[in-house]
Amino acid sequence: MACLETLDIVILGASFAGLSVAHNLLNNVLPRLHTLDGVPDYRVVLVAPSSHLYWNIAAPRALVSSEVVPFEKMFSPVMKGFENYSPEEFVFVQGTAGLVDTAQRTVTITLAVRPKPDHRHSILSTATEKTLPKPRGSLVKTLKYHALIFATGTSADSPLLSLHGPHEKTQAALGDFHKRLRNANSIVVVGGGASGVETAGQLAVYFNSAPSRPLLARLRLRKALDPLACDPPRTPKTITLISGHDRLLSNLAPKYGKKAEKKLRRNHVHILHNIRLVAAASTAAGQTACHLNNDTTITSDLFVACTGVKPNTTFLPSGLVDAAGYIETHPSTLRVKEGGARVYAIGDCAAYSKNYTVDVYDAVPVVVHNIRNDLLAHELRLQYPPVGEGTGLQDRLEELVDKHFSPNPTDTLLMPCTKRGGVGVLFNFRVPSLFVHLMKGRDYKLGKAKEVVDRGINPYGMGE
């Protein structure tokens, strides 16, 4: 029996979740299929608005200076991680997802760049796609999917803390922030959660704490006049953190918020509790006026919104998402409830997630295993007569046992907010300040970025 046409497994999103699922499918699932005659070939199609992964884990530190965290460490090209795969196995499409039709099993993509011929940035098969012109030279591509995985993640309110389209937008936002930061006297950070604590803390460490000196200088083994003996002086900033609750880190036990506040105040961060931002507007002088719910206004040279995230799901039919816009999945199998066959959601865009990076890697084995089961079930049905009664089909299908996701009920958050420490909780246990530095704050896991792109590893995984 001749092989059927290639079937596309489409993954929407190329951050931590999408990259991990793609690598697991390519390395661990697809090579183990094709055990039956006449089954189709599969291709992984990874779709994302940005050609680069943004290492948003380190965003709070990247805010302070491009000299502290260079752009080349913050942005990693996605295609570098898939160079070993042929275009028949893997394709990357830079574009934005539009209409998803679960009845026709299609998704439309507005391309960010025109496809290049004979390259993995383009989709070569005409059997599974249709390309339509769109005004101003852009193209809309319609992909027909055999399986679909939503891994679109969330976007922060601030353009500094997450991608908002192509990575060049985030680079430009960071560059503009750095330029204005040099001469700024005041900074307002809005949001008393983990992101706000880290952002205020990293800014305060860089500008308001005593400059660090190399070990040799501290041991008086280097001349005091040596320009390398200490960091160049920096102008202190007035940093204000606005918290909408009566304490910082309101989603954790009170002791963590108290510790965070104590550490921030040591670096001269002003903290305002029980105040919420109503609106932020630019002034004629180039500052930002923050209008607060207590009928006051704070004007600052710079403003960072750490006010939460929104799921990247506005393109989806309303029947697939909950009231907050998160994709509704079956809680154990992570199949999308109203998505039809072979449709999954993983990571921050899904309703099951607690919006922690570690959530992604708890769910990857479940999603990948259950996709494998669904692909095998499809292959088995191709082998049996349409009726299937008495042919053994049902027995074969019952052998495909799903994995089940069990959400971790504990909290895990690491928030570096001092020079060599911070506040942390790991599986509901307090993490000593120094260990927060060692586990995250020392380098913000920047050394793991290449392996996340190349292999889809968990950046917090032990031994990876």
Mean pLDDT of 129-140: 59
> How many angstroms from the chain centroid is the CA of residue 333?
22
Helix (H, G, I), strand (E, B) or coil at 417: strand
Radius of gyration of the chain (CA): 25
Asked whether residue 343 carries a pLDDT value surpassing 50, the answer given is yes
Q: What is the mean pLDDT of residues 123-144?
A: 61
Cβ neighbours, 10 Å, residue 330:
17
Q: Hey, what domains does the chain have and what are their CATH numbers? A: 7-155+310-398 (3.50.50.60), 158-210+233-307 (3.50.50.60)
Q: Among all chains, which residue has been given the structure tokens 């992909």?
A: 143
Q: How confident is the model at residue 123 (pLDDT cuts 50, 70, 90)?
A: very low
Q: Reading across the β-sheet that carries 429-431, which strands appear in turn? A: 412-418, 421-426, 429-431
pLDDT of residue 461: 84
Looking at residue 39, its pLDDT comes to 81
Instruction: Write a three-state SS string for 125-145.
Output: CCCCEEEEECHHHCEEEEEEC
**378 backbone dihedrals φ, ψ, rounded to 5°:** -65, -45
Instruction: Look at 427 and 342; give whichever has higher pLDDT.
Output: 342
Q: What is the pLDDT of residue 386?
A: 67
- Return the SS3 of 38: coil
Token code pair at residue 154: 């969330």
The beta-carbon contacts of 436-442 under 8 Å, at least 24 apart in sequence, are: 439/414, 440/57, 440/414, 440/416, 441/414, 441/416
Amino acid 3: pLDDT: 52
Which pLDDT belongs to residue 226?
37
Rounded to the nearest angstrom, the gap between the alpha carbon of residue 44 and the centroid of all alpha carbons in its chain is 20
State if pTM tops 0.75. Answer: yes
Least confident piece of the model among 81-90, 218-227, 235-244, 370-379: 218-227
Higher pLDDT, 1 or 100: 100
| 8 A C-beta contact, residue 59 and residue 160 | yes
How big, in percent rounded to 5, are the helix, strand and coil portions of the chain? 30, 25, 45
Res. 394: pLDDT tops 50: yes
Between residues 51 and 460, the one the model is more confident about: 51
By the 8 A CB rule, do 350 and 321 touch?
Answer: no
pLDDT recorded at residue 112 = 87
pLDDT at residue 229 is higher than 50: no
345 neighbors 329 (Cβ within 8 angstroms): yes
- Pairwise CA distance, residues 453 & 80, whole Å: 7
Selection from 155, 154, 156, 157 nearest residue 280 by Cα = 157
What is the rounded average pLDDT of the residues 263-274? 97
What is the arithmetic mean of pLDDT over 395-424? 93
Strand, helix or coil at 228?
helix
pLDDT digits (tens, 9 = 90+) for 309-338: 999 999 999 999 999 999 999 999 999 999
Q: What is the pLDDT of residue 127?
A: 38
pLDDT of residue 37: 76
Rounded distance between C-alpha atoms, residue 23 and residue 438, angstroms: 28
What is the rounded average pLDDT for all residues in the chain? 90
pLDDT in tens, 25-77: 999 999 988 777 778 899 999 999 999 999 999 999 999 999 999 999 999 99
Q: Are 270 and 186 in contact (CB under 8 A)?
A: no
pLDDT (0 to 100) of residue 34: 76
Rounded percentage of the chain residues whose pLDDT exceeds 70:
87
- As a whole number of angstroms, the distance between CA 385 and CA 387 comes to 5
Q: How many residues does the chain have?
A: 464
Tell me which of 165 and 131 has the higher pLDDT: 165
Mapped onto helix, strand or coil, the DSSP state of residue 240 is strand
